[in-house]
C-alpha cells in the first residue's frame, strides 16, 4: 500500500490500531510471519515512550541517522495517531520536527492540527501567537476552526464569538462544525438561550442540524433538567432516518434522568447503551456505562457490565473508571481487588490508575493503606507529582498538616516542568508552617515552589513575616525568591512598593 493512501485511511478511520498496522508497513526491515517480529518500526520506537516528559525527538533523529527514509504522509499518520492516544506533546513534537528538520511544507490541514496541539500543550495564548504568524493565504476554515476549538476548550466566550463572526464575514462558516463548537461552548457555560439562536441561523442558511448539533442541544436540556425538551430532541434523533443513534445519545439521556432522580428511565437508557456495544466493544462507551451505573447506585449492574465487556487488553483508563465507580459506591475492597488485577496484568505502569485508588483512600481517611500502596508502586519507578499531591490534599482535609507538607514537598521534587500544585494546598501548607514558626521548613518548601514556577508575592511576604516573627535571618533565601518574584510581578503590575 502506498504511504499516501495509508495516511488517508488513518485520517478517515481515526483508529490507531489501523495506524499501527499501516505504519509497520513503513519499516525498512523485512517482516517475518510473526506479528511480534515487527518491532523495528518508527511507530514502535515512539509508542513505547509513554512518559510525556520524555522527548521523542532523539528517536526521530536516530531514525534518520540510520539512513531510514520517512515521508510526509508517514509523519502525518504518526501525528494523528499520537493525538488519538491523547499524547499531545509527542504529536506536537512530530508535527514541528516534520517541518523544522525534514523541511516538509505544511498544508493548511497540518497547520490546523498543529494549532490545536499547541493549544492543548502550551495553552491558548501560544495558539493565538501561532495563528497570528500564519500567512493569510493559509488560514483556511480548518485553521480558523482549530482556533475556535481552542477558545471553546478555554471557555473564552467573547473570543470564540469574535472568531466565529470573522468566519462568517470571510464566508468560512458554511458547515455545521463551527456552529457545533459554539453550541458546545454555550452548553458548557450555561448560555443556553444562545443555542436556539444559532440553530435558527443554521436553518436560515440551509446548514443541516447534524447529530452533533442535536446531541449538544439535548445535553443543554439535560443540564438544565428540562426533561421534556431533552426527550423531544431524543425522539427527533430516533425518528430521523439520516441520524445514526449511538451510545452517546443514550448516555446524555441517562445523565439527564439521573440528575432529576428518574432512576428507572435512566436504567432503560443504560440497557440501550449496552445494546449498541455489539459487535464492536468501544472502550469509551464501556467506561461511560460503568460511571453511569455507579451514579445510578446499581452495584450488581456495575460488576455485571465489567465482567462482560471489560477490554481484553489491559486498558488503564477502564480500570481507573471501575475503581472510581466502586469507591463511589463505598466498595473500597472491591476497588482494591480491581487495582490488584490491573497491577498484576499491566506491562506499563500508569500512576493515573494508582491515583484513583489513592483518591478513594484519602476520601475515607485510609492513609495507612494509601502509603503502603504508594511505597510498593514507587519501587524502581518515578511517581507522578499528582500521586503525592493527592495525598497532600487528603492529609490537609483531615487536618494532618505535617504529613500534608511532607507530601507537597515530594510532589514538588518530582514534578515535571510546568507542573504546579493548586494554590489551595500550597497556601495551606505555608500558612501552617508560618503559624508554627518553622522558617527552615518554609525555606525548603518555597525553594521547591520557586523551581516549579509557583511563586507569588504572597509567598514572599509570608516568609518575610515568619522571619521577623522568629528573629531568624533568611536574607539569602529572600534574595533568591526576590529574583524570581519581583521581575515577574513588575511585568504584570507595573511596579511593587
Mean pLDDT by 10 residues, the chain (497 residues): 39 43 41 46 88 89 92 94 91 95 93 96 95 95 96 96 97 96 93 94 95 93 95 94 89 97 97 82 89 97 93 86 97 97 91 96 97 94 92 97 96 83 91 87 85 67 65 55 44 32
Is 404 inside a domain boundary? yes
Give the domain-ending residue among 221, 245, 269. 245
**CA atoms of 270 and 275, how far apart (whole Å):** 9
**CA atoms of 169 and 175, how far apart (whole Å):** 14
**CA atoms of 130 and 121, how far apart (whole Å):** 13
Is 494 inside a domain boundary? yes
Give the domain-ending residue among 215, 245, 275. 245
**CA atoms of 256 and 224, how far apart (whole Å):** 9
Nearest to 313 by CA among 341, 345, 339: 345
Question: How many separate domains does the chain show?
Answer: 2
Nearest to 114 by CA among 134, 51, 52: 134
- 430 near 442, Cβ under 8 Å? yes
Residue 466: give its domain's CATH number: 1.25.40
**CA atoms of 66 and 27, how far apart (whole Å):** 12
**CA atoms of 124 and 127, how far apart (whole Å):** 5
Supply the range of the domain harboring residue 194: 175-245
Task: Give the number of other Cβ atoms within 10 Å of residue 342's Cβ.
Answer: 23
- 76 near 70, Cβ under 8 Å? no
Task: Give the number of other Cβ atoms within 10 Å of residue 18's Cβ.
Answer: 16
Is 413 inside a domain boundary? yes
Give the domain-ending residue among 194, 220, 245. 245
pLDDT at 28: 41
pTM over 0.85: no
Is 453 inside a domain boundary? yes
- 354 near 388, Cβ under 8 Å? no
Nearest to 443 by CA among 391, 485, 481, 484: 481
Nearest to 288 by CA among 249, 334, 237: 249
**Residue 489 cell numbers, joined:** 510581578
Does residue 279 have a cis peptide bond before it, meaning omega lies within 30 degrees of 0? yes
Is 156 inside a domain boundary? no
Length of the chain: 497
Count how many Cα atoms sit within 13 Å of the Cα of residue 372 in the half-sphere of its side chain: 6
Is 283 inside a domain boundary? no
pLDDT at 456: 64
Is 318 inside a domain boundary? no
Amino acid at each position: 500500500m502506498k504511504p499516501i493512501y495509508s495516511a488517508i485511511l488513518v485520517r478517515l478511520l481515526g483508529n490507531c490500531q489501523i495506524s499501527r498496522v499501516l505504519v509497520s508497513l513503513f519499516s525498512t526491515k523485512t517482516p517475518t510471519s510473526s506479528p511480534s517480529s515487527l518491532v523495528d518500526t518508527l511507530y514502535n520506537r515512539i509508542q513505547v515512550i509513554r512518559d510525556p516528559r520524555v522527548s521523542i525527538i532523539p528517536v526521530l533523529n536516530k531514525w534518520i541517522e540510520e539512513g531510514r527514509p520517512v515521508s510526509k504522509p508517514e509523519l502525518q499518520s504518526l501525528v494523528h495517531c499520537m493525538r488519538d492516544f491523547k499524547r499531545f506533546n509527542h504529536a506536537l513534537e512530530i508535527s514541528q520536527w516534520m517541518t523544522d528538520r525534514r523541511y516538509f511544507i505544511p498544508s493548511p490541514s497540518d497547520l490546523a492540527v498543529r494549532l490545536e496541539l499547541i493549544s492543548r500543550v502550551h495553552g491558548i495564548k501560544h495558539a493565538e501567537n501561532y495563528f497570528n504568524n500564519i500567512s493569510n493565504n493559509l488560514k483556511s476554515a480548518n485553521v480558523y476552526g482549530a482556533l475556535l476549538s481552542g477558545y471553546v476548550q478555554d471557555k473564552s466566550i467573547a473570543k470564540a464569538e469574535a472568531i466565529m463572526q470573522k468566519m462568517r464575514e470571510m464566508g468560512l462558516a458554511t458547515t455545521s462544525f463551527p456552529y457545533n463548537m459554539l453550541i458546545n461552548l454555550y452548553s458548557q457555560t450555561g448560555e443556553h438561550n444562545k443555542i436556539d439562536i444559532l440553530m435558527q441561523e443554521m436553518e436560515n442558511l440551509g446548514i443541516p442540524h447534524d447529530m452533533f448539533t442535536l446531541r449538544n442541544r439535548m445535553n443543554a436540556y439535560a443540564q438544565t433538567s428540562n426533561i421534556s425538551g431533552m426527550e423531544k430532541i431524543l425522539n427527533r434523533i430516533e425518528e430521523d432516518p439520516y441520524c445514526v443513534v449511538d451510545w452517546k445519545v443514550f448516555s446524555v439521556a441517562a445523565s439527564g434522568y439521573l440528575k432529576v432522580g428518574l432512576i428507572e428511565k435512566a436504567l432503560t437508557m443504560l440497557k440501550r447503551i449496552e445494546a449498541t456495544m455489539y459487535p464492536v466493544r468501544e472502550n469509551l462507551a464501556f467506561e461511560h456505562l460503568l460511571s453511569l451505573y455507579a451514579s445510578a447506585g446499581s452495584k450488581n449492574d456495575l460488576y455485571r457490565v465489567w465482567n462482560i465487556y471489560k477490554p481484553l487488553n489491559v486498558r488503564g483508563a477502564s480500570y481507573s473508571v471501575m475503581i472510581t465507580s466502586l469507591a463511589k459506591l463505598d466498595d473500597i475492597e472491591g476497588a482494591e481487588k480491581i487495582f490488584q488485577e490491573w497491577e498484576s496484568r499491566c506491562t506499563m505502569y500508569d500512576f493515573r490508575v494508582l491515583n484513583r485508588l489513592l483518591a478513594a483512600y484519602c476520601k475515607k481517611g485510609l492513609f495507612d493503606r494509601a502509603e503502603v500502596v504508594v511505597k510498593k508502586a514507587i519501587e524502581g519507578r518515578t511517581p507522578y507529582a499528582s500521586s503525592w499531591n493527592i495525598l497532600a490534599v487528603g492529609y490537609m482535609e483531615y487536618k494532618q498538616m505535617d504529613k500534608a507538607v511532607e507530601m507537597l514537598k515530594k510532589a514538588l521534587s518530582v514534578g515535571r516542568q510546568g507542573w504546579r500544585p493548586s494554590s489551595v494546598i500550597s497556601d495551606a501548607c505555608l500558612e501552617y508552617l508560618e503559624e508554627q514558626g518553622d522558617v527552615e521548613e518554609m525555606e525548603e518548601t518555597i525553594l521547591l515552589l520557586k523551581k516549579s514556577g509557583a511563586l507569588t508575592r504572597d509567598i514572599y511576604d509570608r516568609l518575610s513575616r515568619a522571619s521577623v516573627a522568629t528573629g531568624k535571618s533568611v536574607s539569602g533565601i529572600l534574595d533568591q525568591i526576590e529574583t524570581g518574584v519581583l521581575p515577574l510581578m513588575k511585568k504584570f503590575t507595573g511596579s511593587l512598593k
